[in-house]
Chain A
Amino acid sequence: MPIAFQNAEGLKPGLVIYLTVGDQGLKTTRDVALAALDAGADVLELGVPFSDPVADGPVIQRASQRALAAGTRLEDVLALAGELRRLRPRCGLVIFSYLNPLLRYGMERFCERAEECGVDGVLATDLPVEEAGPHLELLRRRRLKPIFLAAPTSTDARLRAIAEVSEGFVYAISRTAITGVRRELASDARGLVERLRRVTGLPIAVGFGVSLPEHVAALAEFADAAVIGSAIVSLIESSTPESAPVCVAEFLRGLRTLPHPAGTACGSGRP
């Protein structure tokens, strides 16, 4: 599967949705994932919960704790990917993890299972390009796209190295920050995307702090996709398992249509 940021309606920018798998139970993640895809999400990042998520803020930390307390394992994340692939053959599926759960599972075995389950790409938060060497080979052998983060602090030399090994898309971090919902879209984002455009022809998705229709509208001008993470995870946290899919779908529909529809039973996902 190529990862594509053009949904049926041709809406811009593309939407990448991060979910911590197993938060409120696997069934909730599955239902929310389907609802998000049907509300126009192009790519799902299926987050593997980890005990020590150093790059994440309180919202995703809490979601990871809940998912782990519910007993979620990497195997469950892969099985969910397989199910989503069967139900929605055209969506993009990315496994988003810290490195250690993948190492413990065995990188080769992980890649084999991920391919079987129809996963498109893999992003490991704490795996920078210089440590990726042997993993890249295993990923490519299974036709999994290695996806890397690029940061406002990344030097041009680092951006070139990232561009060289990335496939599918590049994930540009909008600000020097951990994950979390923010009011303003960082001014860092546009500059970083411009620098990335000089070194890669791959689509660029911008994330970290993206949560408002204004952010998404701004990103439509210079990025290919917006990554929505903590805003969705926070919505799930404040919903019941029954209401979460509806709330997430409503939130996503609102994101690409300014202004935000008012007066609903759901939280806003706003900062």
Chain B
Amino acid sequence: MNTQISPAAEVPPGRFGAYGGRYLPETLMAAIEELEQAYAEAGADPAFQAELAGLLKDYAGRPTPLYLATRLTRQLGGAKIYLKREDLLHTGAHKINNCLGQGLLARRMGKRRIIAETGAGQHGVATATVCALFGMECVVYMGSEDMARQELNVYRMRMLGAEVRAVDAGSRTLKDAISEAMRDWVTNVRTTHYLLGSVLGAHPYPAMVRDFHRVIGQEARRQILERESRLPTAVLACVGGGSNAIGIFYDFIPDAQGDARVRLIGVEAGGRGAALGSHAARFQGGSPGVLQGAYSYVLQDDAGQIAATHSVSAGLDYASVGPEHAALHDSGRAEYVAATDREALEAALRLARTEGIVPALESAHAVAECIRLAPRLSPEDILLVNLSGRGDKDMGILARELQLGGG
């Protein structure tokens, strides 16, 4: 297979090694160039940065706490476990970091209409929130399967004034919502900003969304050094598109040498098992390909058709992964493992019962890997887990799967 896409002579913008790039229909190319330009200007503008920092602090609730999970640590009898509490942010997940950033950027570009896709509904809720705050029109595309399993978030988006459009195509999940949002953007490109919710899609989205989430790792690195005077053994995060993971990983990437080397572990959705169609573990069963604007690992069949995916968690249920993760995977700087539906559900229950924290099912995948790993390490080791969101939205699924019906 020919996987070498980038020309040798001239490296196109937005590459992470061989991955990333800009694979879009021509209609969107001018808009993506405009976005790249606007983002570069905003990044260099202290007023933009100051306004964003103010909103992150006073509106979203940053910095988030770093919490030492003492009971879980004692129970597992190995490494010390710290949780980065993104679940305590306004709207209940890390997604608000990116939405505030892109919302300000859209305002700067003079775009009054915002569209977004959502899987778990957390990105949709955060987008609807920011649109309400800035007085912008908001349309959120959501697979009808996801609307059913994350019903609470559908109501939250409507409460905030957003229009939620059901997507009935394909598997009726995140991938199909992204396709529909892209079709809307192609049609309304002159007036509309596409507020993409993860480190996916064409350049500059993967780099820009990462930059807006970098604050997670910047805070966590400072907090752990204050508390422990040393770096963690490993940083763990769930990987859907990969935004919360790259957000917490990024400032630890240079910590790659010798004794102080920090392992970076991304946890994908192992779903029901290893068969294609039963999971969303791109680094287990996927191969390089192009989907929705970027070259990255993709779950696909031998004809290059995108495979169906499954995860109990809507936010991880996607056939591709952010291109920067693909590069971190190939270079070996980050490791990617999978946790099954069952492991994630059990991890959610365990965290609820030992620490009084109900994690989002997405985040529960990272907790599951932590539960597996901690007992194999020594008390001198430190695990830093990104608790990307809280589980309120998942109570329906948790009640069903964990038989919380009582009686």
Contact B1–A154 (Cβ < 8 Å): no
One of A51, A55, A73, A158 near B25 (C-beta < 8 A): A55
Q: How far is the CA of A52 from the CA of B292 in the complex (A)?
A: 8
Per-residue interface assignment for chain A, residues 84 to 120, with 1 indicating a CB less than 8 Å from any chain B CB and 0 otherwise: 0000000000000011111111111100000000000
Chain B residues, CB < 8 A from A162: 26
Between B288, B298, B300, B303, the greatest number of chain A beta carbons within 10 A of the residue's beta carbon is seen for: B303
Q: Is A131 an interface residue (CB 8 A)?
A: yes
Number of interface residues of B (CB under 8 A): 49
A171 to chain B, nearest CB (A): 9
A29 to chain B, nearest CB (A): 17
A-B contact count (CB 8 A): 141
A57 to chain B, nearest CB (A): 7
Q: How far is the CA of A106 from the CA of B3 in the complex (A)?
A: 8
One of A74, A133, A135, A154 near B303 (C-beta < 8 A): A74
Q: How far is the CA of A46 from the CA of B4 in the complex (A)?
A: 26
Chain B residues, CB < 8 A from A108: 2
Number of interface residues of A (CB under 8 A): 48
Contact B293–A107 (Cβ < 8 Å): no
Contact B302–A104 (Cβ < 8 Å): yes
Q: How far is the CA of A127 from the CA of B12 in the complex (A)?
A: 13
Contact B2–A107 (Cβ < 8 Å): yes
Contact A100–B300 (Cβ < 8 Å): yes
One of A73, A131, A135 near B12 (C-beta < 8 A): A131
Chain A residues, CB < 8 A from B187: 176-178
One of A99, A107, A153 near B23 (C-beta < 8 A): A99
B6 to chain A, nearest CB (A): 7
Q: How far is the CA of A160 from the CA of B211 in the complex (A)?
A: 33
Q: Identify 15 residue pairs between A and B in the complex whose beta-carbon atoms are under 8 Å apart, listed by A's number.
A: A52-B175, A55-B25, A73-B303, A101-B303, A103-B3, A126-B25, A127-B23, A128-B22, A128-B24, A130-B12, A133-B7, A133-B10, A153-B26, A158-B26, A176-B189
- Give 4 nearest A-B pairs by CB, closest first: A104-B304, A133-B7, A101-B304, A149-B26
Which A residues lie at the B interface, using CB under 8 A? 50-57, 61, 68, 73-74, 98-109, 125-128, 130-131, 133-135, 138, 148-155, 158, 162, 173, 176-178
